[in-house]
């Protein structure tokens, strides 16, 4: 069964350091999402790609976060510099398509648990 791959699964870093997360969506899925989930809360969308284009990055803290999906396949999310408040689970999801009336089902990867010390 096809799955969304993410790495690393766990990352511990010190504040002010740079971190990067990688995601490989399900083959053929055009839409890729990065979410942040703080303990006890639901996932919050950081950025959404349709192929290689950003569809929504309104909640991405652009002073420190960046995301790219250069060839429209896998994606990287970077944080520089990391802050204590960035400690969370970072989830990647993908879906086959997204249109103006209905969004296709999103499938999540295992996530990256980030701890900033």
- Which spans of this chain sit near another protein (rule: CB under 8 A)? 33, 40-45, 48, 55-56, 89, 91, 98, 100-103, 105-111, 113
State the nearest-atom distance from the C-beta of 42 to another protein, in Å.
Answer: 3
CB 33 within 8 A of CB 45: yes
For another protein, the closer of residues 81 and 110 by Cβ is 110
| E runs forming strands in 38-101 | 44-50, 53-56, 65-68, 75-79, 88-95
Give CA–CA dist 89/63, Å, rounded: 20
Nearer CB in complex with another protein: 92/116: 92
Of the pair 63, 99, the CB lying nearest another protein is at 99
Q: Do 111 and 23 touch, CB atoms closer than 8 A?
A: no
How far apart are CB 16 and another protein at their closest, in Å? 27
């Amino acid at each position: 069964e096809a799955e969304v791959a993410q790495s690393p699964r766990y990352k511990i870093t010190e504040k002010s350091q740079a971190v990067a997360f990688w995601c490989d969506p399900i083959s053929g899925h055009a839409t890729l999402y990065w979410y942040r989930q703080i303990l006890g809360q639901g996932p919050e969308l950081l950025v959404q790609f349709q192929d290689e284009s950003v569809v929504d990055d309104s909640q991405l803290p652009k002073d420190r976060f960046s995301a790219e999906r250069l060839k429209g396949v896998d994606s990287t999310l970077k944080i520089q510099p990391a802050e204590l408040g960035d400690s969370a689970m970072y989830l990647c999801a993908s879906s086959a398509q997204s249109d103006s009336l209905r969004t296709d089902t999103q499938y999540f990867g295992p996530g990256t648990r980030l701890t900033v010390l």
